[in-house]
Amino acid sequence: MGYFDDDYQPSRKPKNRQWMVSVLAGIVIGVIVVLVALPTILNSNLLPQAWTEQFSTANGDGEISRSPGAGEFMNVDISTQITEVVENVAPAVVGVINIQHQGNFWEQQENQQEAGTGSGVIYKKNNGYAYVITNHHVIEGADEVEVVLSDGTHISAEVIGSDLFSDLAVLRMDEKMVKQIIEMGSSANVKVGEPAIAIGNPLGMMFSGSVTQGVISGKQRTIPQDFNQDGRPDWQAEVIQTDAAINPGNSGGALINLSGQLIGINSMKINQATVEGIGFAIPVDSAKPIIDELEQSGKVTRPYMGVEIYSLEEIPQTEWDESLKLPKDVDSGVYIWSVESRSPADKAGLDRLDVITAIDGKEVNNIIELRKILYHEKEVGDNLKVTFYRDGKQHETTIKLSEQR
């Protein structure tokens, strides 16, 4: 009764005092009855569901709990879930150090120099070895590569294979010190707006194991890549877009979902002062066949058409009529911007501004669908039947695929 005594102001009339004491006693008894009976009432179906959710939405730990049915309670704490996921996954995310030798002509000796750092993901252990996936640009030009585990242990690693076009590389090292490998997920099941977590080593090993959180901002993005810096794209990289912070040193790190599964390999960001929160990761479904081939042969052999192509959706529809002269019933496909001389496409008669709408009878809506057919279903030496439009008329030709040069 201390709370009420503190606020109570005594009256000069004894009769009023007795009346107030009776009221207060009734209030206290009523509160006790409600507290005792409330759990039973909430677990019954006597109250509307909205009422039961209001009564059970908060507790002292900041958790949200509600009662979907009689006797059944469910607690949800997103922050706790993220910390648990990160704790499980973090040991599988490593640092990768690119070491290059620099010779000294006058002293006739070589000096080792750290040329760059990045991140990697341990995805497999087999026959005494642990395997790490990272970016090609992280280990490019390396004479030696070191992997730094989450506990700071440095392990010498061997580059098994690396691929410029996919920007992926596979490393192999002794598995003795490796305690955790990551669980592979699927990028095909990723939805725009769902949470995503990036783990890596931004700005070198000083901030190793850094975690950033965001959402999936977009799927099936294509980013032009100019490897020889001649101003013309050499490749169209298929990526997942996220607003989880990806900074220098994060390259090769893990993009994971709330189940702790790998859905992407962090690869790049748009580096412009006016742009913020646009980072990219290589979808794990695209990476898996590349990883397997790098493990087995050390390189990726791709069928080669010899064309620079873009999706129709990337240009205004007014150009579909004026420049490409497409019929009204053609609403998707890829157009050829250039054809390399003496390439398979050149030999098959394809030309600039031809619009490819089908391959081997399968409809092609964009560059990603074309690439999936070309790289997942075809091999070097196979024939490829191409349906295309030129000057408003449909044509067909057959390309004999050669190896990517």
Q: How far apart are CA 282 and CA 223, in angstroms?
A: 11
**Dist. CA 373–CA 389, nearest whole Å:** 19
CB 99 within 8 A of CB 142: yes
Q: Hey, is 51 helix, strand or coil?
A: helix
pLDDT at 294: 96
Q: How confident is the model at residue 366, as a pLDDT? A: 87
Tokens read off for 211: 């975690």
Nearest CA-CA partner of 158 in 168, 140, 173:
173
The secondary structure of residue 119, as a DSSP letter, is E
Spot the catalytic one: 208, 251, 286, 311: 251
The pLDDT tens digits of the residues spanning 3-46 come to 333 333 334 444 455 555 565 556 656 656 555 555 555 455 55
Q: How many CA atoms lie within 13 Å of 48's alpha carbon, on the beta-carbon side?
A: 3
Residue ranges, comma separated, of all CATH 2.30.42.10 domains in the chain are: 303-403
Active-site residue, from 167, 243, 285, 354: 167
pLDDT score, position 396: 97
Return per-residue pLDDT of the chain as tens, 405 residues: 333 333 333 344 444 555 555 655 566 566 565 555 555 554 555 545 444 444 443 333 434 334 344 444 445 455 678 889 999 999 999 999 999 987 665 565 667 777 788 999 999 999 999 999 999 999 999 999 999 998 889 999 999 999 998 999 999 999 999 989 999 999 998 999 999 999 988 766 666 778 888 999 999 888 877 777 766 666 778 899 998 888 777 889 999 999 999 999 998 765 555 555 688 999 999 999 999 999 999 999 889 899 999 889 888 988 998 899 999 999 999 999 999 999 999 999 999 999 999 999 999 998 878 888 888 789 899 999 999 999 999 999 999 999 876
Residue 228 makes CB contacts below 8 A (sequence gap 6+) with 234
CATH 3.40.50.720 fits 303-403, yes or no: no
Active site residue 217: no
Structure tokens at 390: 């030129």
CA distance 10 to 18: 11
Q: How many residues does the chain have?
A: 405
Tokens 């959710």 label which residue?
Answer: 53
Q: CA-CA distance, 62 to 272, in Å (whole number)?
A: 39
User: For the purposes of burial, counting CB atoms within 10 Å of the CB of 316, is it exposed (0-12), middle (13-18) or buried (19 or more)?
Assistant: exposed
DSSP 114-150: EEEEEEEEEEEEETTEEEEEE-HHHHTT-SEEEEE-T
> Looking at the chain, which residues constitute the CATH 2.40.10.10 domain(s)?
87-174, 183-297
Q: What is the CATH number of domain 87-174?
A: 2.40.10.10
Q: Is 167 a catalytic residue?
A: yes
Give the predicted TM-score (pTM) of the model.
Answer: 0.66
CA–CA gap between residue 4 and residue 8 (Å, rounded): 6
| Matching residue, tokens 């490409």 | 324
What span, in angstroms and rounded, lies between the C-alpha atoms of 42 and 71? 9
Catalytic-role residue among 136, 137, 187, 285: 137
> At which residue do the structure tokens 């790998």 appear?
262
137 carries an active-site annotation: yes
Topology (CATH level 3) of domain 183-297: Thrombin, subunit H (2.40.10)
Q: What is the DSSP letter of 182?
A: P
